[in-house]
Amino acid sequence: MDPILLGCLLCVILPLVAFGLIMIFTWRRPNLSLAISLVASTIPLIIAWTMLFKLWGIKEPLIFTFNWLVSDLVKVPFGFLIDPVSLIMLVIVATISWLIQIYSIGYMGGDPGFGRYYADLSLFAMSMLGLVISSGLLQLYVFWELVGLSSYLLIGFWYEKFSASEAGKKAFVVTRFGDVGFFMGLVFLTIFFGSLDIAGLNAAAASDKMPPWLITTSALLIFCGIAGKSAQFPIHVWLPDAMEGPTPVSALLHSATMVAAGVYLLTRIFPFMAASATAMLIILAIATLTMILSSTIGMVATDIKQVWAYSTVSQLAFMAMGLSAAGLAHGTLFAGYFHLTTHAAFKALLFLCAGAFIHHFGTNNFFVMSKEGGRKLTIPMVTVTIAALALCGIFPMAGFFSKELILGTLAHLDNKIWVLLGLFGAFLTSYYTFRVIFVMLFPRADDHPAWEQYWEEPEPHGHGHGDDAHGHGHGDAHAHDDAHGHGHGGHGDSHGVPWVMSFPLLVLAGFTLVLGFLQTPLETFLLGKSEPHEMSFVLLASAVGVALAGIGMAWLDWGRKTASWQGFIKQIPALETFFIQKWYIDHFWRWFLDTFIYGVFSKWFTYNDRRVVDGGVDAVAFSCIGGGRWLSFIQTAFLQFNLLFMVVVLAAVGIYLLMGR
């Protein structure tokens, strides 16, 4: 067998086997489950890196397919497509997945669901790796849904907590809502194009073999799925709630890899999507709106995971902007994809640092962390600052390079409004990021009035988060009174963070520092050639300028000694309320559900069920009873009358048959 094919198969099958083994046999034994899961994630890691090095510089994609579903009209292959795009994503997923599994040893240690946690992580690894190397869209869709399933399982991991199980359900239903559109797009393509093969689709769209209306419609339908998975407006509402899951899960699924699957799909079929300028323009508009919206909400959140969650939404939107702008300006997929790569590193790092703080202090509120002495945790504090600088796009962090590229792509558009909005988004990003960093770095004196304001969180989502890391209501005492207790510093480690947790932080910080300088080799690998980027000085200066301006603004509001700790947004109370209420989008969906789904569809379907379906069955039964009553006069209790009637009828039938001849 071809070693590459064997590698692909192992990547998909090993984690699946681990999932099955743990779920069926070893879920009661934490250490054995951990060992199985680690083996099943280390081998794909080695395979992924080996393949990247072996296949560095391939020109033609490697495709392995088997027939999966064959009829005379459609043929659905099942297989693997290995090209630079999927190779890089494969490495990202395998690496971060492995690092998270290491990190979780510390974070989840002592949890009664430890085995189940690793089983779910293995299921996720299997589905995500399978998604990345899928050769056809239907196969990709299957793994896409499996990824959604593992996301649901992991968000609701602490299912004893009501808000967590609700958040899991919300994530599942909302993303499924988008996936309906995705599936309709696939059906549409199958009917009118006849194939869902990724390579074939891209080639056909690029060489004008498909009618434009078909491309536009199916691209927009597929974008529904992308918007659901990558949390774009207006169905981004599930991602912030998904932070109810354990923090390593948020780092793996809800920032670095799974939510990036949407953008990955956009990259995967980029030539196809880019063939429709209308679709690209709509995607660009939605992504821009999402970025501004989520950045503004991030400015007022006091839960550190919520800030990073909204930051994830805005960065995903930023990637989508880069890709759609490239589609409009006949550019390449590199800018958006490069940002996906760097974002995976620094956003996973941000979440893992947040997880280290949450694990130590037992709260999600970063004001509380600051008061409790968060800056004394040296490794998380240094690495979170590195990641924050990357998020803002400050040289020499990875984010600097990828954000510059996207802004450069946006600047290529004729309409300059997009690049201005992009710069505005970058400004907001720097502001809310460094709001967190400055609050953590420079706690105030104990009698500062701001503490009162932020200590007890008035926000509806705030109160449920305090017990995220430990007290999830299962009442198992052993989970708490061992070395994993919180807030009392009993870790026996000079940094207060166990090495299994600080090691992934350092690795990711290394990636964050290095990845930016790999821009040219990566571009050569992805596109076959590296084009010189004529980066205009004005754009470069303004990009760095707005990032520094955001940091400066944050310094004025939160950092300096005399800062008010209020935030400039406090000056406009109406706007602040608007942001705290998350632009009332959750309210809108609540209203929409109550009015249209429950008020119209559900009501009428219930009515239909009660009246038409049940009523129909009842009507048949009751008419039988009534008809029997009514016809019972025929039974006169005069037996021979019935017999006579029978004889007469038989005689009549006999005569008719004889005469009828």
Partner 1 sequence: MLLFNQLETYLYVALVLFFIGLYGVLARRNLIAILISVELILNAASLNFMAFNRFLAPHPAVGQVIALFIMAVAAAEAAIALSIIIAVYRKLKSVNVEQATELRG
Orientation angle between helical segments 198-206 and 137-155, nearest 10 degrees: 120
Nearer to partner 1, 628 or 660 (CB): 628
Orientation angle between helical segments 417-441 and 537-554, nearest 10 degrees: 30
Site residues, partner 1 (CB under 8 A): 631-640, 643-644, 647
Rounded least distance, CB 624 to partner 1, Å: 16
Rounded least distance, CB 626 to partner 1, Å: 14
Nearer to partner 1, 53 or 633 (CB): 633
Please choose, from the candidates 231, 212, 376, the residue with its C-alpha nearest in 3D space to the C-alpha of residue 290. Answer: 231
Whole-angstrom Cα distance, residue 125 to residue 98?
Answer: 9
Nearer to partner 1, 537 or 633 (CB): 633
At residue 69, φ and ψ (nearest 5 deg) are -145, 115
> Three-state DSSP class for 68?
strand
Please choose, from the candidates 242, 17, 228, 253, the residue with its C-alpha nearest in 3D space to the C-alpha of residue 150. Answer: 253
Rounded least distance, CB 627 to partner 1, Å: 13
Rounded least distance, CB 637 to partner 1, Å: 4
Element (H, E) at 391: helix 378-392
- Long-range Cβ contact pairs of 633-641 (< 8 A, separation 24 or more): none
Nearer to partner 1, 529 or 629 (CB): 629
Rounded least distance, CB 651 to partner 1, Å: 10
Rounded least distance, CB 640 to partner 1, Å: 5
Element (H, E) at 609: none
Q: Give, in order, the Cα–Cα distances in Å from 446 to each of 454, 466, 486.
A: 13, 21, 21
Rounded least distance, CB 630 to partner 1, Å: 10
Q: Give, in order, the Cα–Cα distances in Å from 492 to each of 358, 369, 484.
A: 18, 20, 11
Nearer to partner 1, 74 or 648 (CB): 648
Rounded least distance, CB 591 to partner 1, Å: 60
Rounded least distance, CB 597 to partner 1, Å: 52
Rounded least distance, CB 652 to partner 1, Å: 15
Q: Give, in order, the Cα–Cα distances in Å from 466 to each of 110, 201, 237, 287, 301.
A: 19, 48, 21, 32, 14
Nearer to partner 1, 541 or 655 (CB): 655
Structure tokens given for 119 = 């089983």
Nearer to partner 1, 541 or 624 (CB): 624
Whole-angstrom Cα distance, residue 168 to residue 176?
Answer: 12
Nearer to partner 1, 514 or 655 (CB): 655
Nearer to partner 1, 1 or 637 (CB): 637
Whole-angstrom Cα distance, residue 348 to residue 102?
Answer: 13
Please choose, from the candidates 117, 116, 351, 155, the residue with its C-alpha nearest in 3D space to the C-alpha of residue 241. Answer: 155
Rounded least distance, CB 609 to partner 1, Å: 37
Report DSSP letters for 103-119, one per residue.
HHHHHSTT-TTHHHHHH
Rounded least distance, CB 639 to partner 1, Å: 6
At residue 65, φ and ψ (nearest 5 deg) are -135, 150
Nearer to partner 1, 537 or 638 (CB): 638
Nearer to partner 1, 71 or 640 (CB): 640
Nearer to partner 1, 625 or 639 (CB): 639
Residue 573: cis peptide before it, omega within 30 degrees of 0 = no
Whole-angstrom Cα distance, residue 439 to residue 636?
Answer: 96
Nearer to partner 1, 477 or 634 (CB): 634
Whole-angstrom Cα distance, residue 162 to residue 274?
Answer: 43
Whole-angstrom Cα distance, residue 97 to residue 257?
Answer: 9
Beta bridge partner(s), residue 81: 63
Taking the CA atoms of residue 358, residue 359, residue 363 and residue 367 in that order, the dihedral angle to the nearest 10 degrees is: -40
The answer to whether 10 and 43 have CB atoms below 8 angstroms apart is yes
Nearer to partner 1, 73 or 639 (CB): 639
Rounded least distance, CB 638 to partner 1, Å: 7
Rounded least distance, CB 644 to partner 1, Å: 5
Residue 234: cis peptide before it, omega within 30 degrees of 0 = yes
Whole-angstrom Cα distance, residue 320 to residue 324?
Answer: 6
Nearer to partner 1, 571 or 640 (CB): 640
The vertex-88 CA angle with 87 and 94, nearest 5°, equals: 85
Taking the CA atoms of residue 241, residue 242, residue 247 and residue 248 in that order, the dihedral angle to the nearest 10 degrees is: -160
Rounded least distance, CB 649 to partner 1, Å: 14
